Amino acid sequence: MAKSECLKMAKRWICKSEDLLSEGLGIRFALPELGEHVTGFLVRSVGKAHAYVNQCAHVPVELDWNQGDFFNSTKDYLICATHGAHYEPRTGLCVLGPCVGKRLRPIAVYEQNGNIEIDLDFI
């Protein structure tokens, strides 16, 4: 199999672009490549889609309060429901809480033709 075919196989469709609202609920997805119960999430911030492994940089627990609820009340930061760590949505950098300076694990995102995909080669 050619390298370009392998790379193409690593992309996974997540949702339609219209389903991901800016500073709205995120979209969760399974990441069985990283473990049986590991998930990722997709959010839109300032009009751009961002994806991360759904694990706090402090302790590997999922971030969302309720399924898909990743933003704090002012919609400025992603927040860990367990320890209150605040992350910049565009970079995944922790700016407040027990893991300041650490980052969420990013996942490459591609948005085109009204669809959003992640690239599993870049986790």
> What is the rounded distance in angstroms from the CA atom of residue 14 to the CA atom of residue 12?
6
**Given this structure, which CATH class describes domain 3-122?**
mainly beta
42 near 29, Cβ under 8 Å?
yes
Helix (H), strand (E) at residue 39:
strand 39-45
CA angle 89, 18, 33 (to 5 degrees): 60
**CB within 8 Å of 102: residues ≥ 6 apart:** 57, 58, 93, 94
Structure confidence at residue 9 (pLDDT): 56
The tens digit of pLDDT for each residue in 68-105 reads: 999 999 999 999 999 999 999 999 999 999 999 999 99
* Residue spans per domain, the chain: 3-122
Asked if the model's pLDDT at residue 3 lies above 70, the reply is no
User: Among 122, 121, 119, 111, which residue's Cα sits nearest to residue 19?
Assistant: 111
